[in-house]
Amino acid sequence: MVKFDKEDLLRVAALSAIELDDAEIDLFAEQLHILLSYTAELAEVSTKTLDERTSHNPNVYRDDRAIQSDASRLVEEAPKTKDSFVVVPKIIS
């Protein structure tokens, strides 16, 4: 069982600069205790059978090869171009 009580919650809230009232402290302490208990329970679950099932189906990748192509046709199809490049809207300022 994972230990997580009001003192732990208050320490995390102080480090996070979060102000909690008494009702929130009780509610969040209980919810976090339940959540941490559940994750501890999940850590005990054996995943050995999952490894056996997935190990028999390896990923198959194609060879990564460069191929010769003519990009000029693609550039011609773009709505806006400049000096053989496609012009796109600025997204990072």
pTM: 0.45
Statement: residue 87 has pLDDT above 90: yes
Write down the pLDDT at residue 73: 85
Summarised one tens digit per residue, pLDDT across range 25-76 is 999 988 988 898 898 888 888 777 665 655 665 667 778 888 888 888 888 8
pLDDT of residue 55: 60
Does the pLDDT at position 6 exceed 60?
Answer: yes
Higher per-residue confidence, 2 vs 7? 7
DSSP string, 52-83: HHHHTS-------------THHHHHHSSSEET
Per domain, the residue ranges of the chain are: 6-51
